[in-house]
Amino acid sequence: MDDTRTTTKIQELTYELKVEDVISKDIATVSSKLPVSLLRDILYKKRISGVPVVNDGKLVGIVSIEDFIKCLEQGEMDALIEDKMTKKIKTLYADEPLVHAVMKFEKYGFGRFPVISRKDKKLVGIITKSDIIKGILKKLETAYHDEEERRYRASHIFNDIIADEVFLKFQYYVEGKNFDRAGEAATGLKKTLYRLGLSPEIVRRASISTYEAEINIVAYTDGGEIIAYIDPHQIKIIITDKGPGIPDVKKALEPGFSTAPGWVKELGFGAGMGLPNIKKFSDKMTLRSTVEKGTHLEIIIKLSDYRNGE
Amino acid sequence: MINLKDIVQKLDLKVVTGNIDREVSAGYSSDLLSDVIANAQKDNIWITLQIHVNIVAVANLQELAGIILVNGRQPEEATLKKAEQENIPILLTELSTFEIVGKLYELGIHGNRR
Amino acid sequence: MKLTKIKEILEADVLTGKYDPEIEVQIGCSSDLMSEILAFGKPGSILLTSLTNIQVINTANVADIKVVCFVMGKIPDENIINLAKKNDVIVFITKLTTFESCGRLYKNGLKSCSYSNLDK
Ligand SMILES: Nc1ncnc2c1ncn2[C@@H]1O[C@H](COP(=O)(O)OP(=O)(O)O)[C@@H](O)[C@H]1O
Ligand SMILES: [Mg+2]
């Protein structure tokens, strides 16, 4: 692969895209006049590590989970947020090129930056590293033809800015009993993983495993969901459905065991090799099932060579 | 026509049932029983990865010369019993479909003309 | 083996995909069960099957198989062709049987996917 070219394209995109093109705008904020105790719900329920403090739309500070814990330890839950928050904060303007954001993440090592408008200094959103990567992926998807896109994988941006806590989440719904659409999730995930610059072998193992699991949802259930979590260490794929469940999980895992009906067999599946295949291609596989409730399959594929790229 | 005994010997197949002293007309490779019922011909040697008892019934119906199970597969218990009863040769190989077919082809066994 | 040679040996027609006569394929695999292909098919190989539905294309796609050859003169429908096009899977059709197709390719030097040391 032509490395210089790839890097150039990704770098071009970080200049071309603006911060506002990739940020999450739907964010939780708090007012500075509220007591610290009210943060509990926001921080825990939304699972975020910091909340912007906003008065009349204007950003006045940021309060983190560490601030909250400190107050908790010192019995200061009634203190006002404005007395405990960080007031000197680094922000980004919405109209700045993405490359500024990339540089700021590198410089300060923060997990997120508030984004404000240049005009009135009002808070417009929050940006994380994961937002940047997703924004670039999306752009690659819409702007380039398949052939070109191959050369423009997002691997280098990952190498450059990924931090341990970044993870990406991709979600797919799978229709039950519809063989015409079976495979859409697995092939969609494959494309995404490829764009992320993962090695072809890793992509292949992840997509074969996902495909077999997807086929099972289509063949045996009324539908389900596939969620892939990607972080610098592993790909975790969770496949769930709401029934009918598997009466004997141990047996289902045996090569050759199958309850596939005729229509599944005619389509080239149902030889009892699906789950064994998933086992073969993953580093870890966990299958749990309750009859009438549903099945939960977790697949892990380790990414030892993630940073080193291909 | 080639004798099945020669094939077994040359390709190092493991014989689990049946009388292998019979002639083979051509080869047929398929993992779909309905396809074999529709398209295989008398005295064909059948290459498949199916191990279910129904393969014996199909071989019987089509008067096939024998069944080769590929990729190290073992026949199911019921398949073995039935094949013994019906005197259908079941042969085993560690090779893949592609490769065992290739080796049979090199021995002069071709596909059915269509 | 070059695609142009495979095409000639199989007396095949090319239906779709980024067909380039110079593309090299080293390995052949054949099955009518997709899980078998997923388990043993090798990247860059040609898959010969008598099954014709879109899952053959999806299988080729996730397993990085370059070329699918539908045997026995079966003509894949439009959905299959479209999906193959979208995913850059090259589609061949031949009137020959699976047996005859595999036999000819093997005799002409195509390797089998059971050789794991040929992994590419
Ligand atoms: N999501 C699921 N819900 C219900 N049953 C399932 C599910 N996944 C697998 N099974 C059961 O486990 C068996 C084995 O699955 P698998 O190894 O994929 O082989 P196959 O699908 O070829 O039968 C299936 O035949 C089915 O009975
Ligand atoms: Mg299955």
Tokens 């370059």, located at residue: C66
Q: Indicate if the pLDDT at residue C16 is higher than 90.
A: no
Label the pairing between strands A234-241 and A294-302. antiparallel
Interface ipTM above 0.85: yes
CB-nearest to A268 from C32, C43, C61 is C32
Mean pLDDT of chain B: 96
Substitution site in A179, A221, A246, A267 for ligand 1 pocket (most atoms within 8 Å of beta carbon): A246
* CATH H-level, domain C3-112: superfamily: HprK N-terminal domain-like (3.40.1390.20)
The ligand 1 atom at the shortest distance from the C-alpha of residue A221 is: 3
CATH 3.40.50.2300 is right for the domain spanning B2-106: no
Residues contacting A248, CB < 8 A, separation 6+ = none
Mean pLDDT check: name the lowest of A198-202, A287-291, B18-22, C46-50: A198-202
Cα of A213 vs centre of ligand 2, distance in Å, is: 7
- Between residues A108 and B82, the one the model is more confident about: B82
Which residues form the pocket of ligand 1, taking CB atoms under 6 Å from any ligand atom?
Answer: A 212, 216-217, 219-221, 241, 244-246, 252, 257-260, 269-275, 295
Report how many helices (DSSP H) and strands (DSSP E) chain C contains, helices first.
5, 6
Output Rg (C-alpha) for chain C, integer angstroms. 13
Q: Indicate if the pLDDT at residue B114 is higher than 70.
A: yes
Cβ–Cβ gap B32/A266 under 8 Å:
yes
| pLDDT of A9 | 65
A89 three-class SS: coil
Cβ–Cβ gap B101/C99 under 8 Å:
yes
Cα of A252 vs centre of ligand 1, distance in Å, is: 6
Task: Tell me the residue type at A287.
Answer: L
- Tell me the domain boundaries of chain C: 3-112
Q: Indicate if the pLDDT at residue A158 is higher than 50.
A: no
Alpha-carbon torsion, ordered A220, A225, A229, A234, to 10 deg: 0
Q: Indicate if the pLDDT at residue A260 is higher than 70.
A: yes
Cβ–Cβ gap C55/A215 under 8 Å:
yes
**Alpha-carbon gap, residue B29 to C32, rounded angstroms:** 9
DSSP A156-212: HHHHHH--TT--EEEEEEEETT-TTTTTHHHHHHHHHHHHTT--HHHHHHHHHHHHH
Mean pLDDT check: name the lowest of A210-214, A234-238, B33-37, B92-96: B33-37
A77 three-class SS: coil
pLDDT tens readout for residues C66-97: 999 999 999 999 999 999 999 999 999 999 99
Read off the tokens for A156. 């280098």
User: From the centroid of its chain, how far is CA A222?
Assistant: 25
Q: What ligand is nearest to the CA atom of residue A276?
A: 1
DSSP A104-139: HHHHH--SEEEEE-TTT-BEEEEEEHHHHHHHHHHH
Could you tell me the pLDDT band of residue C118, with boundaries at 50, 70 and 90? very low
In chain C, what residues touch A186 (CB-CB under 8 Å)? 58, 62
pLDDT tens readout for residues C47-64: 999 999 999 999 999 999
Cα of B58 vs centre of ligand 2, distance in Å, is: 25
Mean pLDDT check: name the lowest of A50-54, A159-163, A219-223, C10-14: A159-163
**Alpha-carbon gap, residue C118 to C120, rounded angstroms:** 6
Residue C76 preceded by cis peptide, ω within 30: no
Cβ–Cβ gap A211/C56 under 8 Å:
no
A249-to-A262, A271, A287 alpha-carbon distances in Å: 22, 16, 7
Read off the tokens for B22. 């019979």
- Tell me the domain boundaries of chain B: 2-106
Task: Give the residue whose CA is nearest to atom 21 of ligand 1.
Answer: A270
Domains recognised in chain A with CATH numbers? 3-147 (3.10.580.10), 157-302 (3.30.565.10)
In chain C, what residues touch B29 (CB-CB under 8 Å)? 30, 97-99, 102
pLDDT tens readout for residues B57-77: 999 999 999 999 999 999 999
- Phi, psi dihedral angles at B21 (to 5 degrees): -90, 75
| pLDDT of B12 | 97
A225-to-A134, A234, A237, A242, A296 alpha-carbon distances in Å: 21, 20, 10, 9, 10
Q: Is C98 on the interface with A (CB under 8 A)?
A: no
DSSP B54-94: HHHHHHHHTT-SEEEE-TT----HHHHHHHHHHT--EEE-S
| pLDDT of A8 | 56
